[in-house]
Each structure stands twice: as C-alpha cells, then as structure tokens.
Structure 1
Amino acid sequence: MQQKIAFNLKKPHQFLALGFGLGLAPKAPGTFGTLAALPFIFATAQASLMVQIALAIFISIVGVWLCAKTAKDVQVHDHPAIVWDEIAGFYITMIGAAISWQSLLVGFVLFRFFDILKPWPIKLLDKKVKGGFGIMIDDVLAGIFSLIIIQALFKVGYLI
C-alpha cells in the first residue's frame, strides 16, 4: 500500500508546483493540472510573440526550482500531483495561437497526447534526466512538439 503524501498548499512553492491545487485531483492529476495554464494563456493571448516566449522561458526556469523543491519536500521524484511541468508544456503549446475554444481543445489534446505517450526523445529524457530539470524537460519538449503541430494546423487552415 502506497503511503499518502501530505502536501502543504500554504507553502508557496508547493501551491504553485501543484497547479494551485489542481494536481491534487484524485484521478488524472496531470490532466487537471494542465488546466492551470489557462490563466497564463488568457493573460498573454494579446501579447507579442516575444512576451509569450519570455513568459514560457520564465515559467520553465521557475518550474525547475518549484518541482525540485516540492519533490524534495515529499521525497518523491516527479510525484503525479506536481503539475507545474504540465502548466509550462500547455502554455508552450499555445504560444502564438489565436485563442478560441477550438484551438484550446486541440492544443490541450495534442499536449496531453505527447505528455502521456512520450515518443522519442521525450521518453528518453523522462527516464534519464533527474531532478527539477528532469521533471520539467519532458513536458517542455511535449509542449514544443504540440506547438509545432498546432501552428501547422493554423498554417494549412484547419484552425482559424
């Protein structure tokens, strides 16, 4: 029987790493945690591409620390409740996208697809890289793969 982890949402780094608490969902915490990217996506939807890229880099760099510190607190590398990496990945997916319910849905599905299936080289990085960087890098890469595909869908006219 697996021991229940006692997270402390009063600790700012855990509150953020757990996606404002969404990562504590009893089922599919990564899927629920991904939704915590929406405020960032909406807040920067009209911002320049450079601002969106800068925020994605900032979210990712801060995420390395948040995820490492939270994982150390609970003594579990990449606990499913730690979802800041999903926030970063979905935010990256939506960089430069025209925001609509359709684009958000497609971006969400693409990101979750790559995050769950972990095709090469995502799976390799997930297995080989440890620490906060290891927690973050597979989702950042899943976000980049998803970004490429969603931008291609916009380019060919499947998304408007």
Structure 2
Amino acid sequence: MDTAPGTQASNSPLTEATATAKDDTTVPTTTPTTSNPSPLITSLSWGKISIFPTHGLTLNTTKDIKLYPGGARPWDWNETGTRHKPGIQLADVEELLAHGATVVVLSKGMQERLEVAEGVVERLEGRGVKVYVAETKEAVRLYNELVEGGNKVGGLVHSTC
C-alpha cells in the first residue's frame, strides 16, 4: 500500500498517520485502502471536521479536508493553487477519482464563498462522474447520505467561509 509523503503505514484497515498543516500544527490523516468505504462525517463546525470510521479520530484540518473511498486527508489548497475564486479546480478532484470515487460532493463553504472553476463540473460529468455542489452543511448531509447508500463517494469540504 502506498502512503502519503511524510506518513507511516499501520496494520489497521484505515491507516492512520499524521501530517503537518500549513500553520505547523500536527493533524491526523488517513491513507486509503481498497476495501473500505468513504468515511462518514460525524460532526462539522467552523474549521473542524470529525470523521468515522477512524476510532473516534478527529481531523482538525484548520478548514479543509479531502474524503475518498478508504480515507481522508487535509486539503491543502497550495498543492494546486486553489483560491476562493476561480475556485475548486479539476486538479483538486483528481485524487478523489484516483481512489475510486464515482460520485463527488464539492462544498462551497459555510458562507458559499468558494467557487467551482469554470468547466470542472462539465469535465467530471463527461467522464461519467456524478457531481454535487452545495453549501457546506448541505454538502456534508448529502455526502453522508451517498456514503450510507453504498456509493463510492469523494468529497472536498471547506469548513469555513
């Protein structure tokens, strides 16, 4: 199994590791396994997201997280140069698809300030991916509903503005 750079693998079904957030705080992260479903989001508040199944692990990502079949990790906008405008890029979503997501939920933030770049939804749909775009609380509700329905769901969650 491959692990994210700077992480260590364990024998648990959902591998736990740590990563350093932009503000130098250590945050737990997970790496995917092929047999696990997408993690459920158990709570959401401004800047904090808790997921399951990770033995009660809370991912304090400061504000953003990527979720995909078998795992989750902090979503670092600097990796792809993402900004509120023009918004979520295709490059942000590619990792979710690489982990087997066939349905993608994109959150626009609690105050809907995060946009989705022009053409992203159309390009994903052209590849057979079902895409939902919503305000963060609605996106989390929809994401969990899709996971519980047995779908291979990926999500980008922006838990602040």
Same fold (TM over 0.5): no
More strand by share: 2
User: Whose radius of gyration is greater, 1 or 2?
Assistant: 1
Give the TM interval when normalised to the shorter protein.
0.3 to 0.5
When normalised by structure 2's length, the TM-score is 0.33
